[in-house]
Amino acid sequence: MSLICSVPYVIVIFGILVSSYYIYEDRIEDSEACKKKEQQIPKYKDNEALFKFQYEYIGEGIRSRDSISIVAGTVLITASLLLLGSCAQFPDFISKLPIVFASLAIYSLWLIGFNLTTKKVNALDYSRLRKMEKETDYNINIHTYRLGKVKDENWWKHLRRKIWVWLLWVLIIVSIAILSVPT
């Protein structure tokens, strides 16, 4: 009986740890890496071909990482939800427990391993693209404009950026509810 009572606490603590890590790491600015990248930006006037190549290469890297993150998210989030949904067929608590933890682990793996790392690397690359845009005489401000718009509309930004943490907590609440259903 004590195992049944302590599992929801373990799940909530797990959720707090994963959420806290995600939110903390999402706020950290890697200024040293940005400074190192600043030094490597070619001058547009000095070598236009190299400048354009790097600009396109960085943009393609962002697109590629986003695509991989979307595909991985589609597979892993779906797997997590399907696992959690499959708990309904098991009558006893002990059978449900490993499936619930596997579901939460798969989702957390995607959240930290794919989503967070993609966001952090993309933030560095977007920073570099904005710096490169300032180097040109053509007043290219695609990425600077987007950043300005996001900063101006501050109220929804915090909810939107943390949507995956909110989904984690929905999974946690559903997990506790599934485990709490009497057998």
Q: Is the pLDDT of residue 96 over 60?
A: yes
Which phi and psi angles does 96 have, rounded to 5°?
A: -75, -35
Q: Is the pLDDT of residue 35 over 60?
A: no
What pTM was estimated for this model as a whole? 0.80
Domain ranges for the chain: 48-180
Q: What is the 3-state secondary structure of 63-101?
A: HHHHHHHHHHHHHHHHHHHHHHHHHHHCCCHHHHHHHHH
pLDDT by residue (tens digit) across 46-61?
778 888 888 899 999 9
pLDDT by residue (tens digit) across 67-94?
999 999 999 999 999 999 998 888 888 8
Question: Does residue 87 contact residue 174 with C-beta atoms inside 8 Å?
Answer: no
